[in-house]
Structure 1
Amino acid sequence: MKNSTFGPRGAATDAQSGIERFPLDTVCEAAKILTGASDPIGAMPSVLNVLSSFMGLRMGALALLDDKGQTGRDGKPVNPFVIAATTHGSVFAPPEIRALPVKATRQVFRTGIALVSRNAREELGDAAIPPGAPHDRLALIAVPIREQVHSPYVIGVLGAWRDLDEGGVRFLEEDQRVLTMVASILEQSVKFRRMVARDRERLMEEARAALHAASDKADDAAQMPPEPIKGIIGDSPAIKAVTAQIHKVAQTNTPVLLRGESGTGKELFAKAVHALSDRRDQPFVKVNCAALSQTLLESELFGHEKGSFTGAVAQKKGRFELADKGTLFLDEIGEIGPEFQAKLLRILQEGEYERVGGSKTLKVDVRLVTATNKDLEAAVARGDFRADLYFRICVVPIVLPPLRERLEDVPKLAQTFLDRFNRQNGMEKRLTPRAMAQLARCQFPGNVRELENCISRVAALSSDTEIDSAELACSQGTCLSAELWRMQSGDHSPIGGLAAIRTPLPVIDSAAGQRPPAPACAAPDGFTDVPPAPFSPAPPPPAGEAPGDERARLVDAMERAGWVQAKAARLLGLTPRQIGYALKKHGIEVRRF
């Protein structure tokens, strides 16, 4: 560019005015904002401010076609548009706010050709100058935003103003190039979001139609509550609601996504979907996506040809091929990587694929059931999980309740697991009413799987035929469930599930004083089912307790715990982190032995 040099970071510096511009940084920042936004139009005010800060393009605005349409005074159609965004935010205001000249904007909409006015007042008239402009010596740059590349259909206009008092005429050519590149990025972002929205709407419509058809079929058959599903134990309202959903969706071919924490029985419910469907006589094939590397997962699902890689000594059919006409269950679907997500999307959309190392296209007819304990919505927002794949698998999401939300089912489950243990080991163990009552108070972060392990452990270690509450792990201080609850947070979940995001967690009542600790996995006194309060600098003392008494109580707990902060926290009903804050507050030095 004439009369300019390139300085640090690729900035273009004008030799006459000394003004620095950052065209490359501008395009990079605009790309990051638009590609990372769920709503590209809503992100445009940030892009317009980047243009102002990095390039000196003031009072930028975005105009979009108005879907409602309108006609002129003579009855002929015009190019209706609204001002969707300015540097001040998303406005969706009529053209009369004059963020962009109305006639010039309509010309760009009509012709699809960029417009550069070197002196807006002389060429476009006094009305072209936007309100609030510092003066009328301004140049206008307006570029079209197309529906897609090389399309004659213009859906928007991106415009900005250049101050002529800053020698702005020399920058107009570069300004047009930068605005055109930003408009191209916006085109791709809008196109992708529209494709995803259309795909999602179509899939949701298919799901609604499938569920409606299934409901009609169920109503015609009988007005009876759904029958219990074999292998699923419980009479609670939560489990009955899930059972009813399974009965409805099983009669269709709609993809199902099972959501739930670890140990809630996702595989069992997936088998129920298959067993209640018209495909019950066909194969049910399951794959744990978290147990295989991405390369091995591709070979496992799609199969491979002989010699396609080292060790491929024979042709192998993939799980999709083995599940043809039946049901394929993909567990831990949230663990697959981005590269494999694209390959999986094709077979879900088209129903066809090639084996690894093969060229022949194969077609399959598979009912897909997936499961995850991860927050897929957050993964989509972070860019870790493809939005189009998410909409493809999450057509009918079914949330499986954790065990703590159906504690009335615990006695029946516990008895079932104990009966199974007795049959397998030739024993006749039984639980006392006190033991059963204590189990019914437990929170079970590991859900049904943890309950089964708890029953097997106490039955194996019990020396008598009767198992009393004193023999349970929580009564002996050997259950780690309480520690798992304390470690649970919104950012980290050692339990492994949706609990940290969607479910209020039990917390310890800090006013518990010096009461003995409650059973580790039970919640009779010390637990309350409310979200944990933010950490305070120190644990609050009981009402009326002086700071000196609080310090003495803290020292006493530390001494009884052998100066182990985690043990002292359990004695006081606090978290180790709160204990650490309290020690710092009172200036108590931790003794080392």
Structure 2
Amino acid sequence: MTLSGSPALPKFDVRERFPLDTVCEAAKILTGASDPVAAMPSVLNVLSSFMGLQMGALALLDDSGAGQTASGKVNPFVIAATSRGAASAPAASRAMPVAATRAVFRTGVALVSCDVAGELGPEALPPQAPHDRFAFIAVPIREQVHSPYVIGVLGAWRDLTEELYPNIDEDQRVMTMVAAILEQSVKFRRLVARDRERLMEEARLALRHANEKSVAEARVPAEPIRGIIGDSPAIKSVIAQIRKVATTRTPVLLRGESGTGKELFARAVHALSDRKDKPFVKVNCAALSQSLLESELFGHEKGSFTGAVAQKKGRFELADKGTLFLDEIGEIGPEFQAKLLRILQEGEFERVGGAKTLRVDVRLVTATNRDLEAAVARGAFRADLYFRICVVPILLPPLRDRLEDVPKLAQAFLDRFNEQNGMNKRMTPQAVSALARCQFPGNVRELENCISRVAALSSGSEIGAQELACHQGTCLSAELWRMQTGEQSPIGGLAAVRTPLPVIDSGSGQRPPATACPIGFGEGPAAAPACQAPAAAARPPEPEPQDERARLVDAMERAGWVQAKAARLLGLTPRQIGYALKKHNIPLRRF
């Protein structure tokens, strides 16, 4: 029987069959494809070219269940690929005999029919078949090796009108091997897809939880820490560290220049901890001699020394279950360092003149403006004690690194002054702008003193820029900067080591004085020097341009267009140099 209207299929010489090459080419296609099902048309064409197996097709279980009948006793499948391309065609498309395909799905056994028209009926032949003398070969594709669960069927047709009778057994073996390769490819693809879905679901859940947490935090913002004023990036970073470490028992070392508010942040650590209802005890180690410090911290028994008329509890006992703040820890001597180390290691001590060993549970917070690393290197500070107290070091930024907080701090100090003195004074915008350009070597403490001084001396209710000490030649900031050297620092501590000195390198080996505040980098009348160097100070030997933009370009050229070096030449911070370059639209030169 010949089906009219169907194109004639090319004749195939059965003597030119290449089973090994067929399997090899199929393996190359399937293992190199990201989607093995989409690559099956190429594999079916290889079966046709190398083996003469025509009109091949791939049937896969229909996971959606669209092809299942009402009885629910059949295996619904779809035609996932044919030699003409990949497409999701229904089972009734006649690419493969429906009854034979379902039998393979059900039994998991390969099927070979050498008389399709007689055994399965003429309607089982594909529409493009030129006659009815075709054999049908179908092999199962399992979920995994030796699994009874069949997920697909690979089928192909053999023309029986060829001159030499074909080897059907060899055709079945080749198709079985191709099906095995497809099994592994589909299995790997499903594993990858499953992992991808799992990762995507985990990512979605994590994103949803993060969004919910962000929304919750946005609805209930973190309570501000009492006494800490400012929203600059530098202070926000410190506050974030304080909030994280406060909930633990880890020792904290607060580092920073004098006047940065180390005691305030120590109180914040205590207030945010689970010890907030317990005592907060502070000791200034620099204010006491070594003998008095030992008695103050450990206590003493009656009669232990002249003047010990009664037993006295030490600060460690008083701070039991609470927090002990040791300020200026870098000032204690070597002998007392060993005694302090013991209580930090063992949690026990004896009072001066006593024999009873006492145990305490104390959260230790220390502070210093000294360079403890240099002290350890010189042997002035014990390395083992250093590692005991410097578990979580937190560096408090100087005020010159967060000048954007100056207006809020100044207003807070002025409000406090008004409340304490029953006044209602306010600062003009020009005065606030002038303060925001100062460098404040004494940091927040100096700013507070500056506000209290100008508020007390101002004649009216409004404080103008001309009333500030820096505009009247009575500000000592410039003199403090001039006196600061690497060996001695009147500012105190870390500034001598960690802060670039605002000195102009004239090439003559001399160190001329520098202004404590940026000169001329402002706008309007308030752009006058906010903190002038003393009038008698010597100027650099080479003349400097007076124009603000020219001064900046001149400093950048002398610094080789390195902003950090130019900042040192002008007595500014690198951030201020960056702002000035943007303000005057000065392009950076690259070498």
Map Cα deviations across residues 264-309 of structure 1 (whole Å, 9 max, x no partner): 0000000000000000000000000000000000000000000000
Q: Number of matched residues?
A: 316
Match of 2:33 in 1: none
**Aligned equivalents of 1:363, 1:270: Cα separation in 2:** 23
Residues 258 and 370 in structure 1, CA contact (< 8 A), matched pair in contact too: yes
Map Cα deviations across residues 467-523 of structure 1 (whole Å, 9 max, x no partner): 110100000100010010011111110111211211223336979xxxxx99x6431
1:260 Cα deviation after fit? 0.2
Match of 1:244 in 2: 240
Match of 1:522 in 2: 517
Paired-residue identity, %: 81
Please give the secondary structure, in 1, of the residue aligned with 2:282. strand
1:221 Cα deviation after fit? 12
Match of 1:271 in 2: 267
Written as runs of structure 1 = structure 2, the 5 A alignment for 1:113-152 is none
Match of 2:79 in 1: none
Please give the secondary structure, in 2, of the residue aligned with 1:368. strand
Map Cα deviations across residues 316-370 of structure 1 (whole Å, 9 max, x no partner): 0000000000000000000000000000000000000000000000000000000
Residues 320 and 328 in structure 1, CA contact (< 8 A), matched pair in contact too: yes
* AA aligned opposite 1:247: R
**Among residues 400, 410, 413, which one is paired with 1:414 in the alignment?**
410
Please give the secondary structure, in 2, of the residue aligned with 1:434. helix
1:542 Cα deviation after fit? 3.2
Match of 2:373 in 1: 377
Match of 1:36 in 2: none
Runs of 5+ in structure 2 lacking a partner? Answer: 1-209, 508-512, 523-528, 530-537, 546-569, 572-591
Map Cα deviations across residues 408-452 of structure 1 (whole Å, 9 max, x no partner): 000000001001111111111110010000000000000000000
Q: 1:325 to 1:221 in 2, by over 3 A?
A: farther
Match of 1:542 in 2: 543
Match of 1:130 in 2: none
Match of 1:426 in 2: 422
Please give the secondary structure, in 1, of the residue aligned with 2:414. helix
* AA aligned opposite 1:522: C
Residues 444 and 450 in structure 1, CA contact (< 8 A), matched pair in contact too: yes
Match of 1:323 in 2: 319
1:526 Cα deviation after fit? 8.9
**Among residues 485, 497, 500, which one is paired with 2:481 in the alignment?**
485
* AA aligned opposite 1:541: E
Please give the secondary structure, in 2, of the residue aligned with 1:286. strand
Please give the secondary structure, in 1, of the residue aligned with 2:394. strand
* AA aligned opposite 2:416: R
Residues 508 and 526 in structure 1, CA contact (< 8 A), matched pair in contact too: no
* AA aligned opposite 2:340: L
**Among residues 496, 500, 510, which one is paired with 1:504 in the alignment?**
500
**Aligned equivalents of 2:323, 2:311: Cα separation in 1:** 23
Residues 243 and 269 in structure 2, CA contact (< 8 A), matched pair in contact too: yes
**Among residues 338, 341, 345, which one is paired with 1:345 in the alignment?**
341
**Among residues 451, 458, 480, which one is paired with 2:447 in the alignment?**
451
Match of 1:395 in 2: 391
Written as runs of structure 1 = structure 2, the 5 A alignment for 1:84-103 is none
Q: 1:220 to 1:276 in 2, by over 3 A?
A: farther
* AA aligned opposite 2:224: P
Q: 1:456 to 1:402 in 2, by over 3 A?
A: same
**Among residues 279, 284, 295, which one is paired with 1:283 in the alignment?**
279
Please give the secondary structure, in 1, of the residue aligned with 2:393. strand
* AA aligned opposite 2:543: P
* AA aligned opposite 1:542: P
**Among residues 250, 254, 260, which one is paired with 2:256 in the alignment?**
260
Q: 1:434 to 1:318 in 2, by over 3 A?
A: same
Written as runs of structure 1 = structure 2, the 5 A alignment for 1:157-176 is none
Q: 1:313 to 1:400 in 2, by over 3 A?
A: same
Match of 1:298 in 2: 294
**Aligned equivalents of 1:541, 1:366: Cα separation in 2:** 59
Residues 300 and 354 in structure 2, CA contact (< 8 A), matched pair in contact too: yes
1:254 Cα deviation after fit? 0.2
* AA aligned opposite 1:444: F
Q: 1:543 to 1:229 in 2, by over 3 A?
A: closer
**Aligned equivalents of 2:468, 2:504: Cα separation in 1:** 21
Larger CA Rg, structure 1 vs 2? 2
User: Structure 1 segments of 4 or more deviating over 6 A?
Assistant: 219-222
**Aligned equivalents of 1:263, 1:447: Cα separation in 2:** 5
For the pair 1:229 / 2:230, whether they are aligned, the reply is no
Residues 228 and 243 in structure 1, CA contact (< 8 A), matched pair in contact too: no
1:230 Cα deviation after fit? 1.1
* AA aligned opposite 1:454: C
**Aligned equivalents of 1:385, 1:318: Cα separation in 2:** 23
Q: 1:414 to 1:510 in 2, by over 3 A?
A: farther
Please give the secondary structure, in 1, of the residue aligned with 2:405. helix
Q: 1:221 to 1:358 in 2, by over 3 A?
A: farther
TM-score (norm 2): 0.51
1:541 Cα deviation after fit? 2.3
* AA aligned opposite 1:266: K
Residues 481 and 516 in structure 2, CA contact (< 8 A), matched pair in contact too: no
Q: 1:226 to 1:379 in 2, by over 3 A?
A: farther
Map Cα deviations across residues 195-215 of structure 1 (whole Å, 9 max, x no partner): xxxxxxxxxxxxxxxxxxxxx
**Aligned equivalents of 1:499, 1:346: Cα separation in 2:** 31
Q: 1:284 to 1:541 in 2, by over 3 A?
A: same
